[in-house]
Amino acid sequence: MKYLFYTLFLGVLIYSCSSTRDRQIQDTATVAAESDTVRIANDSLEYEIIIIDPGFSYFLNAVAQPEGYHSLDYLENKNQFLVADYNARVRQPYRYDPNIYEMEINYDPKIDYGYDVNYKLYNYFVYLSRKYNQRFSVPTRL
């Protein structure tokens, strides 16, 4: 009886290990990249920013201040300075990490991008400063 129990246990163990072989397992990097892609766009202006940064979509949905917390004027003013500082860092790859600052952002303060674009862009800078411990030079009083 003892040997029968061990043989049955061994058979179940072998069967359970071999059953995982045929399953389709998705690459976690692909799943993470798809779920962490945030599109910032204003289709009427043909303006688009695509952010592929793991954790930003979570930050935007769970950590960031809710939409409507800041006024549009506040966001536009902050983004004007943040984009200028960000673009200066893009142009200095030996001083700042080129993996963080990859491409320039063409932000024209004379164009009305709308609340959604300004809100997500501002929160991306907040996310960058928290995740990578970066300090942007933005005046506290405008």
With H, G, I as helix, E, B as strand and everything else as coil, classify residue 17: helix
Residue 76, token pair as written in the block: 């536009």
pLDDT value, residue 130:
92
| pTM of the complete model beyond 0.75 | no
- Return the closest-CA partner of residue 115 out of 63, 41, 38, 57: 41
pLDDT at residue 58 tops 60: yes
What's the Cα-to-Cα distance from 49 to each of 23, 42, 114, 115, 125, rounded to whole Å? 36, 9, 14, 14, 13
Residues ≥6 apart with Cβ < 8 Å to 127:
53, 55, 56, 59, 60, 64
> Within a 10 A sphere around the Cβ of 99, how many other Cβ atoms?
8
Q: Is the dihedral of CA 115, 49, 97, 27 positive or negative?
A: positive
Output 81 or 30, whichever has higher pLDDT: 81
pLDDT at residue 81 tops 50: yes
